[in-house]
């Protein structure tokens, strides 16, 4: 971060603005809206000041700013759009130790002005530190459409209950939960739909419930959430909501930083990463950890790569939870085969190529290939192999030994959907060599079947650009 974002209380305090044009009027308006007393130094106030003219907290001084003006002043804005005048304001402010901002002149700024979305009392401010003002504008426009005007009133509505809730729910964790349920649930929906008295009645009921529950043991919960193959855009809304709600997140190696960054900032993070042969924490201990955390009353986010029920051992984890009486919910995610297929331009089924698609793991229970070959060798079928990269040699040899055509097209998608995605295409015979030459690091998915020939046709422009490092087809 280049700047420290803060919200500064200027109520009843003096703010200096120099300049009489549009920019100066905007600065003055903002400071007035935040309750400041504003002294504007300008020979003449132009039309933009007309709407502010009646405000008794605004004083116009038709002259240059003086050192004496800085007495009691807490902020100064230079907006004369004249370098010499702005510099003078800057120097005076510095001498008086008053933080100063000069419009469009970074070297004269102690602080910069964010783009603001005002849904008072809810205020959203955005800054790119000056790097991309247009991006900030686009983002602000998007937020504008996301937050209905009543959103601000919702904050006001919640604010009226704040003290009562504070008194009746003394435990901080319970209080946060209560607010999450109210502001992200039917009470808020009712309020936003315009039924304020209904929302108020429901709010009171919800508070009674929360107080009664608080007398009992805290009830934790586990969210078994599929985070998809890596691109955060592939998360589901529900996954994101629960990620924002968790007290603690238990995650493994497949979860990249870009996804982890979306988990609630102050949630505790526990890494239980698993490498194929080097299990950091045995599965049984992970399940027990989830039970223990939930028993402490926490909302536990068990974040898994892809889909939790596809080679994710999610089934085993919830079996333990169920037998221990811990409540849980499961959120599906985009599995690696779907994500990789889409981002590599390899359809898993296609009328001309494959009517069946089968997902298998190349990593058997004891590390050996233990596959049902008769099923795998069926014609017009796509085989997606998870956890197969380290066994790629043995895997292709076995396929060929059991009667598959050595020229059968096959592909490896490495780091599918993520930065640095690589797609290596070849045949059962050539894939091992090409994979070695490409220096893949995993996670990687192997796709076997004639659908792979569609990759070149379908790896359209964008995908090709993403795969700058792609190894061309044989």
Residue 444 near ligand SAH by CB under 6 A: yes
Distance CA 1, CA 50 (A): 37
Rounded to the nearest whole angstrom, what is the least distance from the CB of residue 432 to ligand SAH in the complex?
16
Strand-pair partners of 354: 350
Using CB under 6 A as the binding rule, the residues of this chain from 215 to 244 that contact ligand SAH are: 229-230
Residue 452 near ligand SAH by CB under 6 A: no
Whether omega before 121 lies within 30 degrees of 0, making that bond cis, reads yes
Task: Pick between residue 161 and residue 343 the one whose CB is nearest to ligand SAH.
Answer: 343
CA angle 333, 336, 341 (to 5 degrees): 115
Choose one: 286-294, 345-353, 439-447, 450-458; the region binding ligand SAH (CB under 6 A). Answer: 439-447
Task: Pick between residue 21 and residue 230 the one whose CB is nearest to ligand SAH.
Answer: 230
CA angle 13, 15, 19 (to 5 degrees): 160
The dihedral built from the CA positions of residue 157, 159, 163 and 168, taken in this order, carries a sign that is positive
Q: Which two tokens stand for residue 337?
A: 């085969």
| Contacts of 211 by beta carbon, 8 Å cutoff, 6+ apart | 168, 169
Site string (348-387) toward ligand SAH, x via CB under 6 A: --------------------------------------xx
Rounded to the nearest whole angstrom, what is the least distance from the CB of residue 245 to ligand SAH in the complex?
22
Residue 448 near ligand SAH by CB under 6 A: no
Site string (256-295) toward ligand SAH, x via CB under 6 A: ----------------------------------------
Rounded to the nearest whole angstrom, what is the least distance from the CB of residue 229 to ligand SAH in the complex?
4
Residue 312 near ligand SAH by CB under 6 A: yes
Distance CA 178, CA 182 (A): 6
Rounded to the nearest whole angstrom, what is the least distance from the CB of residue 256 to ligand SAH in the complex?
9
Exactly one of 29, 86, 252, 414 is catalytic; which is it? 252
CA angle 364, 369, 373 (to 5 degrees): 115
Distance CA 76, CA 69 (A): 10
Going from the C-alpha of 433 to that of each of 41, 416, 430, the distances in angstroms are: 75, 20, 6
Distance CA 474, CA 410 (A): 10
Rounded to the nearest whole angstrom, what is the least distance from the CB of residue 349 to ligand SAH in the complex?
18
Task: Pick between residue 104 and residue 419 the one whose CB is nearest to ligand SAH.
Answer: 419
Residue 274 known to be catalytic: yes
Choose one: 134-142, 146-154, 282-290, 298-306; the region binding ligand SAH (CB under 6 A). Answer: 298-306
What is the full DSSP assignment across 391-442? GHHHHHHHHHHTT--TT-EEEEEESTTSTT-EEEEEETTTHHHHHHHHT--S
Residue 411 near ligand SAH by CB under 6 A: no
Residue 335 near ligand SAH by CB under 6 A: yes
Choose one: 94-102, 284-292, 306-314, 463-471; the region binding ligand SAH (CB under 6 A). Answer: 306-314
Choose one: 118-126, 208-216, 308-316, 462-470; the region binding ligand SAH (CB under 6 A). Answer: 308-316
Choose one: 182-190, 280-288, 300-308, 422-430; the region binding ligand SAH (CB under 6 A). Answer: 300-308
Cα(first)–Cα(last) distance of the chain, in Å? 46
| Neighbour-count burial of 163, counting CB atoms closer than 10 A to its CB (0-12 exposed, 13-18 middle, 19+ buried) | exposed
Question: Which residues lie near ligand SAH (CB under 6 A)?
Answer: 229-230, 254, 304-307, 310-312, 335-336, 340, 386-387, 413, 415-418, 443-445
Q: Which residues are catalytic?
A: 252, 274
């Amino acid at each position: 971060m280049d700047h420290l974002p803060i919200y500064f209380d200027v109520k009843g305090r003096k703010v200096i603005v120099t300049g009489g044009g549009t920019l100066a009027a905007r600065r003055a308006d903002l400071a007035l809206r935040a309750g400041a007393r504003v002294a504007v130094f300008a020979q003449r106030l132009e039309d933009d000041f007309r709407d502010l003219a009646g405000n008794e907290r605004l004083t116009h001084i038709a002259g240059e700013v003086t050192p004496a003006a800085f007495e009691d002043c807490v902020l100064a804005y230079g907006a004369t759009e004249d370098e010499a005048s702005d510099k003078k304001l800057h120097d005076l402010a510095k001498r008086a130790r008053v933080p100063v901002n000069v419009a469009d002149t970074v070297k004269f700024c102690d602080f910069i002005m964010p783009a603001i979305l005002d849904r008072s009392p809810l205020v959203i401010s955005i800054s790119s530190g000056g790097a991309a003002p247009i991006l900030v504008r686009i983002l602000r426009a998007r937020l504008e459409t996301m937050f209905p005007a009543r959103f601000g009133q919702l904050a006001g509505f919640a604010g009226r209950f704040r003290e009562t809730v504070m008194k009746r729910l003394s435990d901080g964790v319970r209080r946060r939960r209560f607010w999450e349920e109210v502001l992200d649930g039917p009470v808020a929906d009712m309020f936003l739909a315009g039924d304020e008295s209904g929302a108020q009645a429901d709010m009171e009921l919800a508070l009674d419930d929360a107080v009664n529950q608080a007398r009992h043991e805290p009830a934790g919960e586990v969210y078994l959430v599929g985070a998809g193959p890596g691109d955060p855009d592939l998360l589901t809304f529900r996954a994101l909501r629960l990620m924002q709600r968790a007290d603690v997140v238990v995650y493994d190696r497949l979860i990249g930083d870009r996804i982890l960054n979306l988990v609630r900032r102050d949630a505790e993070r526990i890494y239980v990463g698993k490498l194929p042969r080097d299990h950091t924490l045995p599965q049984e201990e992970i399940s027990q950890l989830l039970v223990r955390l939930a028993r402490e009353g926490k909302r536990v986010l068990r974040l898994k790569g892809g889909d939790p029920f596809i080679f994710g051992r999610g089934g085993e984890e919830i079996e333990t939870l169920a037998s221990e009486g811990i409540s849980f919910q499961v959120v599906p995610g985009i599995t690696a085969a779907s994500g990789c297929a889409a981002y590599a331009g390899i359809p898993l089924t296609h009328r001309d190529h494959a009517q069946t698609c089968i997902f298998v793991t190349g990593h058997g229970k004891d590390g050996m290939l233990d596959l049902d070959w008769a099923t795998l060798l069926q014609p017009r079928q796509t085989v997606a192999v998870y956890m197969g990269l380290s066994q790629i040699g043995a895997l292709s040899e076995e396929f060929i030994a059991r009667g598959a055509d050595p020229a059968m097209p096959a592909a490896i998608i490495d780091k599918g959907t993520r930065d640095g995605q690589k797609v290596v295409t070849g045949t059962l015979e050539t894939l091992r060599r090409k994979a070695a030459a490409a220096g893949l690091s995993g996670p990687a998915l192997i796709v076997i079947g004639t659908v792979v020939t569609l990759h070149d046709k379908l790896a359209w422009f964008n995908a090709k650009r993403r795969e700058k490092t792609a190894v061309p087809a044989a």
